Amino acid sequence: MKSIFFVMGLHNHQPVGNFDHVFEEAYQHSYLPLLQTLMEYPALRMMYHTTGPLYDWLEGHHPEYFDLLKVLIDRNQLEVMTSPYEEPILAIIPDRDKCGQITKMSRYLTERLGAKAQGLWMAERVWEPHLARPLAECGVKYITLDDYHFQGAGMSPDELLGYYQTDEQGHSLSIFPINQKLRYLIPFSPPEEAINYLRSRANESGRNLLVMADDGEKFGLWPGTYEWVYQKGWMRQFFTLLREAMTEGWLKMVTFSQFMEANPPRGRVYLPTASYFEMSTWSLPPQSGATFEHLIHQFQDQGRMDELKPYLKGGIWRNFLAKYDESNRMYRKMLWVSDRLARAETLLKPDQEEEHQTLAHARDRLFKGQCNCAYWHGVFGGLYLPHLRHAIYQNLIEAEDHINRITNPDGGFTEILVSDLNADGSDEVYLRNHRVGLIFSLREGGTATEFDYIPARFNLLNTLRRQQEAYHENVHKAGTEIEQGQSIHDQFLTKEIGLERFLVYDRHLRGSFIDHFFSAQESPEALREGRYYELGDFVGGPYELTESDTTTGRIRLERHGRVVDNEVIVVKIIETLPAEAGVQVEYRVINRSSFPLTIAFAPEFNFALLGGNYTDKYYYRIEGESERQPLNSMGQSENNRRFSLYDENDGFAVHLDFEEPARVWRYPVETVSMSEAGFERVYQSSCVLPVWNLEVEPEKVFVAKFRIVVEKLKTEG
């Protein structure tokens, strides 16, 4: 009789910082009903992986779930897989953190579930050849990757019916290929189609293996799938057909370990750097991504996709670090914190137990700051979601603060670090003390790219530039109706009709201390809509660090440039406040021409407080308007001595205190992005610009002074 082995695997994940209601919905609609259904079919076996952030949430909200897990493990229905605990992209974190994260998860599985994991789930199936060694050194026996990885090594579908062995410097690792056709059939097509496909690959030897391992969320959480999979009975129908096939004898449902015990690898393989096929599109720049998508559809229409797919190479995961500066900022922050933690650990003696505990807590926060989702963007990936980026910064800032307690045990300190922190070949300036930390890019206009308020573990500059995406060309096609039984990769949904009105693209990275020169005719509306004229060359132009004083926490940045026909020098002096969280700012605009400089000068500041229309986050006391205005409002106000943004939820307010009254413009920064739920508009930050109309005579100087103060709000009671 012809027969075949089948492995079905589930990967369940929610990112660090996701909302409780998302966890709960995923639990009720996906994680719980799937295991409850599996309990009804004791003959079926599956692979099972859940990430650390989700385990942590389950411990606090649904500890009864572990009872169900243990029953299924004891019945040999589930084989659990390990992973790095907080689900980072393994290839990009330091080697010392790779093994630390994997060890943490493996120990947890043993202590909590009594399970010893031999295999590892690769986050987003991102593979780089060097990973074989650290994985093997951490005790991992096997992993599973997509068939696309193997096809990229020149292998045909008929060769992908088993597992292979790879190695790095003598360290061996087994790799199972995931079948993409099964990934797309399950659960989006009638269950008979997947069963028929499995039967079609059976042979007389009975040694063939097919693997379907994918996100557990597509069984109930993805749009339309709960009704399709559970209410309309897809899952029970599929499980029933699997059980019948096993009874008939032509299907053998096993786990990876069971298959490896009875079957040797089919040979050696050396896979190229890759992820699943869709990721190779998402990581490309927008124009290249759109071209790649068109080629894919063209080949599909011609019926040539299976023939040509092995030779289609899109981008790799690391492209996201070049595609999105905001991703690179988080990544470099993570590397910097990891390096400082490793150095701090060398300072301690074995008997310093309290200090070791402090650094252990820092390590846990570092690991959370490595969770992958906020570092990239596609149909999945959370770069466009401010709360997920905030969770990364929150944990990294907390880790940094704990490290500071070891390296600066006396508490107060001021440092000015000059180094290429973001790996762009130019120096950044990191001005920091125990209250605030600001990073300035000399290359990019002397712009502040990070402004950390340490007590709240909050990066005030956690914003995102409005930039073109390949899928923006499809925004106008999107509708609001879900087609059941169809993959989310094949649908265009939208949460809001008319989003094409918000497809505005920024000319520069978002940050603070961005030095604009405008005509008097410009307005907040023009800036929001991207139809203004920049009259100077200071935005994005290189600045020099001309003064650095750690005693006072003072830096001076300077650029010689042009505003229309005028030769102009802009000097900005930033100094940390001695007794408050914040900085003193002094701007000097020097006219070096022989004729007057008549222009509007407007340095841009972005404040990302995680909510544009929340009642506990607002502008306060806007001149000429009501006392409170939402952070997604637009307007201008005159004669401001103090301009404030309040965040009651996180317990602080940001004040711009002007030495002389100033006009202030404001508008929201909102992006249009895509997720599994469709296209959506997302508030990223509030853009605030003090505006001064200058009349500067030749060789004269305009001076503006103000403070940016972050005030801790008093809590009632």
* Whether the Cβ atoms of residue 348 and residue 315 lie closer than 8 Å to each other: no
CA dihedral 125, 131, 135, 137 (to 10 degrees): 180
DSSP character string of 38-52: HHT-TT--EEEEE-H
Instruction: Give the CA distances from residue 600 to residues 35, 533, 623, in Å, rounded to whole numbers and listed in that order.
Output: 63, 12, 20
How far apart are alpha carbons 138 and 382 in whole angstroms? 29
* Whether the Cβ atoms of residue 281 and residue 296 lie closer than 8 Å to each other: yes
Kindly give the interhelix angle for 234-248 and 32-39, rounded to the nearest 10 degrees. Answer: 30
Residue 625's Cβ-side half-sphere holds a number of Cα atoms within 13 Å equal to 18
Tell me which residues are annotated as active site: 124, 215
**Residue 261 token pair:** 């015990």
- Chain-centroid distance of CA 113 in Å reads 29
How far apart are alpha carbons 369 and 397 in whole angstroms? 9
The secondary structure of residue 481, as a DSSP letter, is -
Count Cβ neighbours within 10 Å for each residue of 4-37 and write b for 16 or more, e otherwise. Answer: bbbbbbbbbbbbbbbeeeebeebbebbbbbbbeb
How far apart are alpha carbons 643 and 330 in whole angstroms? 29
**Residue 526 token pair:** 């023009």
How far apart are alpha carbons 451 and 686 in whole angstroms? 14
**Residue 204 token pair:** 């007389």
How far apart are alpha carbons 25 and 38 in whole angstroms? 19
φ, ψ for residue 384 (rounded to 5)? Answer: -80, -5
Cis peptide before 15 (omega within 30 of 0): no
SS3 556: strand
DSSP character string of 55-76: HHHHHHH-THHHHHHHHHHHTT
Instruction: Give the CA distances from residue 346 to residues 94, 337, 340, 681, in Å, rounded to whole numbers and listed in that order.
Output: 17, 15, 10, 47
The 10 Å Cβ neighbour count of residue 681 is 16
In 104-250, DSSP assigns E strands to 119-120, 142-146, 164-168, 171-178, 209-215
Residue identified by tokens 């200090």 is: 355
* Whether the Cβ atoms of residue 379 and residue 676 lie closer than 8 Å to each other: yes
Instruction: Give the CA distances from residue 464 to residues 89, 214, 382, 445, in Å, rounded to whole numbers and listed in that order.
Output: 21, 30, 12, 17
Residue 15's Cβ-side half-sphere holds a number of Cα atoms within 13 Å equal to 27
Spatial CB neighbours of 362, under 8 Å, sequence gap ≥ 6: 341, 344, 398, 399, 400, 402, 403
**Residue 553 token pair:** 């926490």
**Residue 629 token pair:** 């205005």
